Amino acid sequence: MHIDMDAFFTSVEQADDPSLRGKPVIVGRDARGVVSAASYEARVYGVRSAMPVVQARRLCPHGVFLPGRMRRYGEASRQVMAVFSRFSPVVEQASVDEAYVDITGTELLFGPPLHLARTLQETVEAETGLSCSIGVAPVKFLAKIASDFKKPHGITVIEESEVMDFLAALPVQKIPGVGGRTLEALTRLGVRLTGDILRYPEDFWSGRFGQTGETLWERAHGRGSDVVRPYREPKSSGAENTFAEDTSDREVLSTWLLSQAERVGRDLRRHGLAGRTVTLKLKFEDFTQITRAKTLPHAVNADEIIYRTALDILSGVELPKRLRLIGLSVSGFAQGGERSSLVPDRLEELSERYGRLDGAVDAIRDKFGKAAIKRGKLL
């Protein structure tokens, strides 16, 4: 099963405040930011997630714009995941509002898949006030596609005997991973439905599209992973900020990077992780976006080293336009916070001090709150 919560953030807001039900609710109030979520009532007016808030206000001026409550959404996510785990011990959380559930062997307890899906759906709604859509299929990618078929509050079951007929009529852009460029290339080949992929042999797809072509061929035959993994290691830790005003002032940008490096470093240390790759994200005033990354010889989680690496990346990037957003992330994880040797030998002692400093600052913030101690540059 793939379970996808319906308009999750806005549904939580409507469940917590019944006066919002039936109204176009949009999470994202900052005029400089983007929409995090839109209720189905708001989507009627063309409002979508990732849309600039300014544009959303033009499309739906009477909408209810809310700042968002990430802590509350996290709490609601834990509630629904706990409900899922009552129906199967094998639950793979894919994001804050979706999960895969292996229901193999549950028929004796909950009946056939359709009955199980309805029971789960009703349980989630009764205990949380939230709605979800469910897809059931032999493999994960098909279950994910199926969960989107009858949104909101829908259930779609694809039996193994129905897979090829289902795929034959499926628009190819519904396959996860088929983006704009791939879709253009497929359209030029006359491939509009997933079944059209079967007109060409496997070596045609691998020769023209490489690994992507092989995946398309496999998907067109209904093949994919059916392994649900209850725990997934985090792949990255990041932070980003949208500015009140567009800027190209490198001093301002460096201050934001220091703040973000502190947030990311603390998150890594809390989870006992360190990463080798530091990635810088820049979004310009015209909404174009670039990323630049640097891979270090050893994994790091020290604020200062993350910060200096991000600054080094930024120094090599031209800024032809002002920026509206900057962010950084660390990936390529190793366990345990290995020390970095990216700095010259003469700075190795200072690198060791960074680790001791971070540990002391973390301890103070754990005891007295994150505002108890600040770097002078961030005042």
Residue of 86, 5, 4, 34 lying closest to 242 (CA atoms): 34
Q: How far is CA 288 from the centre of its chain?
A: 20
20: DSSP letter: G
- 44-67 exposure pattern, b = at least 16 Cβ within 10 A, e = fewer: ebebebebbbeebbebbeebbbbe
288-300 residues labelled b (16+ CB within 10 A) or e (exposed): eeeeeeeebeebb
**Which is nearest to 22 in space by CA: 61, 52, 63?**
63
Region of 369 (left: φ > 0; alpha: ψ -120 to 50; beta: rest) is left
Nearest in space to 140 (alpha carbons), one of 103, 100, 170: 100
How far apart, in whole angstroms, are the C-alpha atoms of residue 17 and residue 15?
6
Among candidate residues 98, 122, 214, 349, the one labeled active-site is 98
Pick left, alpha or beta for residue 268 (phi over 0 → left; psi -120 to 50 → alpha; otherwise beta). Answer: alpha
CA 41 to chain CA centroid, nearest Å: 23
Q: Is 98 a catalytic residue?
A: yes
Catalytic residues: 98
